[in-house]
Amino acid sequence: MVAGSGSPTASTEENHRRRYPTVILVTGANGQLASLILAELDARGVPAIGASRTPTGSRRRLDFDDPASLDLTGVTTLVLVSAGYAEDDRVVARHRAVLDAAVRDGVHHVIYTSLTTAGDHLAFAPAHRATERMIRDSGLAWTVLRNGLYAELFGALLTWTPDGLESPFGDGILAAVTRADLAAAAAVVASTPAAHAGRVHDLVGTPVSAAGVAAHLGVEHRTIGLGEYRARLLDDGDLLAFQPPMLASIATGVRHGFLGGTGPDLERLLRRPPSDAMAVAAATALGQRPRCTTR
């Protein structure tokens, strides 16, 4: 639950309210994207509160599955980082609970990290689009950040063999974007939310391909069939039930050219070119290389 009025957390938040008319809260603060957003805001000198299910330090406890913890009193701008690590019905229910709390507690503006427009066919798109609809219907001021797929994810989905890399992506292109760039874009919007009210920013990055990553690393790339890829996913005991169809849909989308389109929104927000997604994807893939395949 939110700390009481005598706690260091409450004192810190009260100081924020006195000094700054806008109080920003970022959900999922222990996650990779949210932690980067908080770091970006801090680097810009913009105070923000991090919240998570298992908070540390001065962060708030905010558990989407625990209604008693959903206290957004004093928050003016809510950065809702998608709670997408679950089945769609549970994700949508979590988002609905947070939005209901935001309306109840007087939040002014919600910024939601959604999925790129080109991803409408992906298996996890419905939860994002349902959340966008709920946000529009909430009566709150809103901004939707339609994030492209991560360069880090693309690199992680490439598999090492003794001969190089293999993947189900074929010759397909992904307009990949780094988490750091998405965090920077979110920080820009959270810093000046009124300037982005009622807007949808489609935040895709620069083109990457499996063959391009392999060439960057000086190895060969081999394409495997989508059926073989799906079978591997279904045999992977470390994946949760919702993950194989999600990952298979990414493979299909990239392979058949649905996720390669670029756009200007990211560069406009950052006021600089996007980071080198190919280099980031390659670095991620290289970090997964087993020692036994090193020649």
Structural domain boundaries in the chain: 8-289
From 15, 28, 35, 130, select the one nearest 78 (Cα to Cα): 28
Cα-to-chain-centroid distance, residue 54: 19
Note the residue count of the chain. 295
DSSP bridge partners of 80 = 112
Q: What is the token pair recorded at 103?
A: 């309306």
Cα-to-chain-centroid distance, residue 184: 12
Q: What is the token pair recorded at 104?
A: 């109840």
CATH of domain 8-289: 3.40.50.720
- The per-residue pLDDT for 84 is 81
pLDDT values of the chain reduced to their tens digit, one per residue, 295 residues: 333 444 444 555 455 445 556 799 999 999 999 999 999 999 999 999 999 999 888 899 999 999 999 999 999 999 999 998 899 999 999 999 999 999 999 999 999 999 999 999 999 999 999 999 999 999 999 999 999 999 999 999 999 999 999 999 999 999 999 999 999 999 999 999 999 999 999 999 999 999 999 999 999 999 999 999 999 999 999 999 999 999 999 999 999 999 999 999 999 999 999 999 999 999 999 999 997 644 4
Residue 16: which region, alpha, beta or left (left: phi > 0; alpha: psi -120 to 50)?
Answer: alpha
Q: What is the token pair recorded at 168?
A: 């189900």
Helix (H/G/I), strand (E/B), else coil: 41: helix
